[in-house]
Chains A and B, each alone.
Chain A
Amino acid sequence: MGIEITTLKERCKGCNICAAFCPKKILAMDTLGKVYVTDEKACINCGQCELRCPDYAIYVEKKVEK
Chain B
Amino acid sequence: MRSYEKYFRMNRLPHIWCPGCGNGIVMKSIAKAAEQLGLDQDNTVIVSGIGCSSRASGYMNFDTLHTAHGRAIPFATGIKLANPKLKVIVITGDGDCTAIGGNHFIHGARRNIDLTVILFNNNIYGMTGGQASPLTPTGKKATTAPFGSVDTAFDPCELAKAAGASYIARGTAFHAKPLVDLIAQGISNNGFSLVEAITQCPISYGRRNKMGDAAGMLKWMSENAVPLAAYEKLAEEQKGDKFPIGVLYQKTAPEYSAEYAKVIKLAQGGK
Contacts and interface: CB of A to CB of B under 8 A. Distances in A.
A11 B218 contact: no
Contacts, number: 58
Contacts of A51: 176-177
B24 A54 contact: yes
B214 A17 contact: yes
B215 A20 contact: yes
B173 interface: yes
Interface stretch (B14-22, B104-112, B147-155, B225-233): B14-22
The size class of the interface chain A forms with chain B is: 10 to 19
The size class of the interface chain B forms with chain A is: 20 to 34
Nearest to A54: B24
Nearest to B215: A20
A20 B218 CA distance: 10
A8 B18 CA distance: 17
Residue of B1, B8, B25 ringed by the most chain A CB atoms within 10 A: B25
Interface of B: 1-2, 5, 8, 13-15, 17-25, 28, 173-174, 176-177, 213-215, 218-219
Instruction: Give the top 8 A-B pairs by smallest Cβ distance, nearest first.
Output: A54-B24, A20-B215, A15-B20, A13-B19, A15-B19, A11-B14, A54-B25, A17-B215
